[in-house]
């Protein structure tokens, strides 16, 4: 399996439980890695892969329109989007709120999922099953 990565994607998102967080969108930084079929490199055809520009546009659109209380929920939303809407076989998402607390650069979550327990992650490790 080949992988596409998107690093330091900054998006404005409505996230948080505190009044100050609900008053205005916050900057969220996403780092995404997702599996793509090997056929993309072999055939050199965009139809055989996941278009990263479409992924970026869709994430920006969705996060501008929705509110999430928890960063964990936002992370699971992005994972679900990649697995189900874009049909990625494996996804790793690292996302963080920027400057949310004094003296802390980032607060975030890391999530890794595959379509099934047999999906292999980078380095041949087994991808954890999704939580029920």
- Backbone φ, ψ for residue 106 (5° rounding): -145, 150
132 domain-assigned: no
Give ∠ CA 37-120-46 in degrees, rounded to 5.
15
Tell me: the pLDDT tens digits for 22-75? Answer: 999 999 999 999 999 888 888 888 899 999 999 999 999 999 999 999 999 999
Please report, for the domain that includes residue 43, its CATH number. Answer: 3.30.1130.10
13's enclosing H/E stretch is strand 2-15
- For the annotated catalytic residues, the residue numbers are 97
Residue 125 has pLDDT above 90, yes or no: no
Tell me: the pLDDT tens digits for 80-109? Answer: 999 999 999 999 999 999 987 888 888 999
* Number of independent structural domains in the chain: 1
Q: What span, in angstroms and rounded, lies between the C-alpha atoms of 27 and 84?
A: 25
Domain that holds residue 37: 2-117
Residue 130 has pLDDT above 80, yes or no: no
């Amino acid at each position: 399996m080949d992988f596409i990565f998107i690093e330091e994607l900054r998006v404005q998102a409505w996230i948080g439980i505190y009044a100050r967080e609900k008053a205005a969108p916050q900057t969220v930084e996403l780092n995404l890695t997702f599996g793509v079929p090997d056929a993309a490199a072999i055939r050199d055809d965009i139809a055989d892969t996941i278009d990263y520009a479409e992924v970026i546009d869709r994430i920006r659109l969705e996060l501008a329109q929705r509110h999430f209380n928890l960063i964990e929920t936002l992370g699971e939303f992005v994972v679900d989007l990649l697995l189900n809407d874009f049909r990625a076989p494996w996804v790793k998402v690292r996302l963080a709120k920027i400057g949310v607390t004094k003296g802390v650069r980032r607060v975030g979550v890391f999530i890794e999922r595959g379509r099934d327990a047999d999906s292999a992650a980078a380095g041949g490790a087994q991808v954890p099953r999704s939580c029920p």
